[in-house]
Structure 1
Amino acid sequence: MIGTGMSFRKSNKNDHLRRRPGARPSLLLLISMILSPAAQAAGPLDGAIRAQRGGDNITASKMFYQAVTSSSGELKQDAEMGLAQSLKLAGFPYASAYFFSRLVSLGPRGKYFKPALDALSELNSRAPLGRASIAGLFQVKADQIEIPAGAKGFYHYYKGLEAFDAGPQNPSNLIRAKAELERVPAGNTYYNLAQFYLGVIFSILKNSDSALDSFKRAQRTTSDNIRQLATINLARVYYERREFRASFENYSKIPRDSDLWLQGIFEGAYGFFMIQKHNNTLGNLHTITSPFFERRFYPETYILQAITYLRLCRVAEVDRALKQFQDRYKPKFSDLNRLLKTYKGQSTAFYDVVARYRNTKTMKEFTAAVDIVDAVSRTEGFKEGQTVVRNVEREKSLMRTRGARLDALSEVLKKYYSDMRDATAERTGQQAFDHALQLFRYLQDLSNQTRLINLERQAVVTDSIREEYQGDPGGADKTDWGEGMRPLNLKQQLEYWPFEGEYWEDELGAYIYNIDSKCGGTPKKGKSK
């Protein structure tokens, strides 16, 4: 991997032969080594190297760019590599990533394919570059031997992710993604993320044994986010296998200060429902409907409440749960429908709407749709996209103050920053819009489901409910394993409000109702833990 150190002393051409074993060469020495003698002696390149050795990376960038525009072949690649390195040293990571990516896009036959790929990997480990910055990777075909060791994880992870995002419903995309992700070396920065996606792929392919193995490997990370992500998906796989005890154990490992905790509480309610622990189910749902989480989007909570009360033959409670669903979500349909119609085909504008909400926690229009916008703003994909947009805008501002001497290069970079910002916002906005549309359809399905529950309520018949109502945790498509897993950063203690009835807290802190079943004419205690 290319080093970041710099030595300003005059270097001897044989210095690199005398450095201590295992030490990295300084960046200037490395540039001198990789640029050909002809390149170093060629006009602007010679001046650019002298400026770089003197620590003036702005002037060096300007002169390297002059060489890029006035040369061709290997000489042009020499100049572009020097330009990318100078911009990196000057503190412009996204600008440097642009030129590194251009060198990578030339493929393994390009002179600087390996060092440029190493540099992209290093830059991305510090801050997300975004897909637009590393797009050159996705068209490159390279053999294993041609990928530098330090960049293997970066290269194969993003190649795999691009294949996965092309459409996980298509088996050929899954196979391509799986092949790339399996090439990420153990111990690499991207290994645990790759294992997580492999777990998702195996889950989609109905290979639960391999899915469990991958998610367990992903758990061995130092990243709390990845570990929790893997843990909740282990719980989901065990749920699918009907191994409910193992499922509950994994849900219970999610800490309360994680956004995953509430998602785990909701999904755990389905596990309790499946084993007819109805009081446990109601206890979990009681937590989710707390006013503390009033902006969180869990409409299915009321549906599961109604079905659970129906199992207990408590018709009045069924009616109350269905009314709460209608009161809370029916007013949202109109605003949500208008929101989606307004921004259909306007991905960048929709990104701006969600980003503005995420920054201010307020909405000037479509206020009844705030739950949906809040849910979209919490996705990992949106948060990463917004981070890239902010970083690019910050670097563009820095370029205006520090890059006045870059002349023609300054104009090129201004256009690049605008294009990069727009491409990232458009991609992120489209993903956010698709997610909002999915949630709207999900809400419509739940609304239709209330009619079925009302029909069953008339006869208090519940045996067919589970067959008619497919209650997958979260109501999400099985390809959507990453949603609902965003850090909420709760600082205050969770509060619970008074409840008209009796419930109690078990040894793990779960809330459990203690209400009777009215089925069969004789009140019976509902099953509990």
Structure 2
Amino acid sequence: MTPRTLLAALVSTALLATPALVQAQAGGAPAAPAPAPATKEAAPAQAAPPPAEKVPDAVFDKALADYFAGNARAAAGPLYTWLLSAPRTHENYAWGQYFLARSLIDLGFTHAGGVYLSRIARERTHPEVLPRALETLRELTDRPHDEVMIDEQVFGALDLGFLPEEAGAYAHYQQGLVDLRVGNERWATTHFSKLPEGSAEASRARYALLVTRLREVKEPNDELIEDFLGLSKDEKLTRESRNEAALAVARLRYERQDYPGALEAYGLVKLPELDPGRATLYLEEAWTRYKLGEVRAALGILTTLDAPSFRDEFLPDKYLLRALIYRDLCHYLPAKRAAKELTRRFADSLEAIRAREDLTQDVRLRRAASAQGATRRAARYLEVLELEGERLGRYAGSFGGPLYTHLTKTYDLAHAEARRTYQARLEESVRKQADTLLRAAEQVRLMEYEVGLKLYERVKKGAKVVAPPEEELLSPSQVGFTFDGEYWNDELRSYRVHLESRCIEENP
């Protein structure tokens, strides 16, 4: 899709009644129900489960020693057993929750560990344990996690007056994000102003504010673009956030038809060494070079997008741009083939859209929707829950019956909720992908019609071939090799296609 398109992006209950069974008597009147047999006393209520057997504190001490000896597997089960019988007012109860959480996290059960850390944060019964729990929760937010449980219910609802500096900064940042989501930028700015200057949270807060303002303004000004440019060079942000800021600069400049500036901003995107890169980044750069008249360079980038790394990417605009380039160079038959390639490749998806089928079951649309934004985060969190749930079976013997049963229920509930959240986000995202595909298909049909007219256009006498636009040739320090179908990651951004123009110009 074009940079312009990417810029535009950010239960009833049924009552079941059982009809009464009526028996007809000989006289036609319904028979009265037989009275229930009299009993001397009411049926006893279901017996309450017996209280947990008292576990001595020595079990806690032994489990703690196992944890510090590096044996989290041996510590987890006894810690849980001790917590079942210990009163919540016990001086070590919060410590038991904390070290059980750390044991589970060390064993790869990040969600279960987050559940116990969140309990500590909500109960706030031990002032010495709380900062450690919050710091561990903050570390968990760098991975796929339960955003409602940790971001909203813990950091989004904390009393900010008593927190240590690092945890307090992250809490201010999260509460500012909550305010931005509900449209209250003034309150968000108040939270963000309390972040330590020069901290990573302060940089992330500026990025969140800029993205929010970008959605609200119709004509982005130079100041907004410069702010994004500054963030693209801020080392306190993650590489992904810096790249997103650079892409925002490129897309805003493209929108303002500053194509050289947009191309310069795309060059600011830094990828890991030998990384194949992003398909959307290459496609946007191809559109920018096309607007600059560098059609052969744009066609070279489209060749890059045929590499095996990108063949499953959802890029319907790729075929449209290829058809436009062939049309501009008057290669009309290749233009028609490029246009038809879109409808051929996405035939199943287009048919599903027109038939109004469940689009979440379409493989291409589902994959494209799951690779973006909130839907991507929900999909990754669901994958984590599935992996950790499968891993749980390997620890059934080590954990013991009570802890294993408890964790099984915990993961079943979390998986059901994560599945519901993912499905809701997927349904919304897949509709956007379907709209993108329909727009590209409509443009391709117009392209086919226009190219068809050109194919049968008569050439008048005296017409001459139009000289193609000059493009920069290889410098003496550069070497060119004929493409033989092999793709190398370090060459993906340097392909160029030599294609002569067949256009003719009529004499006046």
Q: TM-score interval w.r.t. the shorter chain?
A: 0.5 to 0.7
Instruction: Give the whole-Å Cα distance in 2 for the aligned partners of 1:517 and 1:248.
Output: 28
Find out whether 1:97 has 2:114 as its counterpart.
Answer: yes
Structure 2 counterpart SS, 1:105: helix
Find out whether 1:453 has 2:470 as its counterpart.
Answer: no
RMSD of aligned residue pairs (Cα, Å): 4.2
* Aligned equivalent of 1:411: 405
One of 239, 242, 266 as aligned partner of 2:257: 242
What are the within-5 Å matches in structure 2 for residues 299-314 of structure 1?
299-312=316-329, 314=331
Single out whichever of 147-156 and 102-111 deviates more from structure 2: 102-111
The letter for the 1-side match of 2:407 is L
User: What is the CA distance between 1:438 and its match in structure 2?
Assistant: 1.6
What are the within-5 Å matches in structure 2 for residues 399-438 of structure 1?
399-404=395-400, 407=402, 409-438=403-432
Instruction: Give the whole-Å Cα distance in 2 for the aligned partners of 1:391 and 1:174.
Output: 38
One of 151, 157, 164 as aligned partner of 2:167: 151
The letter for the 2-side match of 1:393 is G
Gapped regions of structure 2 (runs ≥ 5)? 1-53, 67-74, 455-480, 486-490
User: What is the CA distance between 1:111 and its match in structure 2?
Assistant: 9.0
Structure 1 counterpart SS, 2:147: coil
User: What is the CA distance between 1:86 and its match in structure 2?
Assistant: 3.1
One of 199, 212, 221 as aligned partner of 1:201: 212
User: What is the CA distance between 1:329 and its match in structure 2?
Assistant: 2.0
One of 80, 83, 96 as aligned partner of 1:61: 80
One of 269, 285, 288 as aligned partner of 2:302: 285
CA spacing shift, 1:122–1:305, aligned 2, 3 Å: closer
Equivalent pair of 1:192/1:218 in contact (CA under 8 Å): no
Instruction: Give the whole-Å Cα distance in 1 for the aligned partners of 2:169 and 2:386.
Output: 26
CA spacing shift, 1:424–1:455, aligned 2, 3 Å: same
Equivalent pair of 1:103/1:113 in contact (CA under 8 Å): yes
CA spacing shift, 1:292–1:411, aligned 2, 3 Å: closer
User: What is the CA distance between 1:286 and its match in structure 2?
Assistant: 3.5
One of 389, 393, 401 as aligned partner of 2:385: 389
User: What is the CA distance between 1:140 and its match in structure 2?
Assistant: 0.8
The letter for the 2-side match of 1:435 is S
The letter for the 1-side match of 2:319 is Y
Equivalent pair of 2:102/2:113 in contact (CA under 8 Å): yes
What are the within-5 Å matches in structure 2 for residues 277-356 of structure 1?
277-289=294-306, 293-312=310-329, 314-335=331-352, 341=358
Instruction: Give the whole-Å Cα distance in 1 for the aligned partners of 2:429 and 2:442.
Output: 20
CA spacing shift, 1:415–1:226, aligned 2, 3 Å: same
One of 267, 270, 279 as aligned partner of 2:287: 270
One of 461, 482, 496 as aligned partner of 1:511: 496
The letter for the 1-side match of 2:405 is E
User: What is the CA distance between 1:179 and its match in structure 2?
Assistant: 5.9
Instruction: Give the whole-Å Cα distance in 2 for the aligned partners of 1:77 and 1:520.
Output: 90
Find out whether 1:443 has 2:462 as its counterpart.
Answer: no
Equivalent pair of 2:98/2:116 in contact (CA under 8 Å): yes
Equivalent pair of 2:94/2:125 in contact (CA under 8 Å): no
Find out whether 1:372 has 2:391 as its counterpart.
Answer: no
The letter for the 2-side match of 1:149 is E
Instruction: Give the whole-Å Cα distance in 1 for the aligned partners of 2:332 and 2:94.
Output: 73
CA spacing shift, 1:422–1:45, aligned 2, 3 Å: farther
* Aligned equivalent of 1:117: 134
* Aligned equivalent of 2:8: none
User: What is the CA distance between 1:200 and its match in structure 2?
Assistant: 2.6
What are the within-5 Å matches in structure 2 for residues 154-169 of structure 1?
154-160=170-176
Instruction: Give the whole-Å Cα distance in 1 for the aligned partners of 2:484 and 2:321.
Output: 20
One of 208, 217, 228 as aligned partner of 2:231: 217
The letter for the 2-side match of 1:87 is A
Percent of residue pairs identical: 18
* Aligned equivalent of 1:87: 101
Instruction: Give the whole-Å Cα distance in 2 for the aligned partners of 1:118 and 1:49.
Output: 23
Find out whether 1:520 has 2:483 as its counterpart.
Answer: no
The letter for the 2-side match of 1:236 is R
Cα distance per residue 1:375-429 (max 9 Å; x no partner): 3454452563245324532563355232106x3x543332112112222333234
> Whose helix proportion is higher, 1 or 2?
1
Equivalent pair of 1:220/1:227 in contact (CA under 8 Å): yes
Instruction: Give the whole-Å Cα distance in 1 for the aligned partners of 2:116 and 2:347.
Output: 51
The letter for the 2-side match of 1:213 is D
Single out whichever of 210-219 and 325-334 deviates more from structure 2: 210-219
Instruction: Give the whole-Å Cα distance in 2 for the aligned partners of 1:246 and 1:292.
Output: 28
* Aligned equivalent of 1:466: none
CA spacing shift, 1:508–1:292, aligned 2, 3 Å: closer
Equivalent pair of 1:198/1:214 in contact (CA under 8 Å): no
CA spacing shift, 1:179–1:274, aligned 2, 3 Å: farther
CA spacing shift, 1:244–1:64, aligned 2, 3 Å: same
CA spacing shift, 1:189–1:402, aligned 2, 3 Å: farther
Equivalent pair of 1:107/1:142 in contact (CA under 8 Å): no
CA spacing shift, 1:496–1:281, aligned 2, 3 Å: same
Structure 2 counterpart SS, 1:146: coil
Cα distance per residue 1:167-201 (max 9 Å; x no partner): xxx7x166666665665545655565555444433
The letter for the 2-side match of 1:65 is L
Residue correspondences, number: 403
Equivalent pair of 2:117/2:133 in contact (CA under 8 Å): yes
Structure 2 counterpart SS, 1:220: coil
Equivalent pair of 1:65/1:83 in contact (CA under 8 Å): no
Instruction: Give the whole-Å Cα distance in 1 for the aligned partners of 2:397 and 2:189.
Output: 45
Instruction: Give the whole-Å Cα distance in 1 for the aligned partners of 2:381 and 2:355.
Output: 25
CA spacing shift, 1:150–1:395, aligned 2, 3 Å: farther
Instruction: Give the whole-Å Cα distance in 1 for the aligned partners of 2:314 and 2:112.
Output: 39
Instruction: Give the whole-Å Cα distance in 2 for the aligned partners of 1:336 and 1:187.
Output: 49
Q: TM-score, normalised by structure 1?
A: 0.62
CA spacing shift, 1:158–1:398, aligned 2, 3 Å: farther
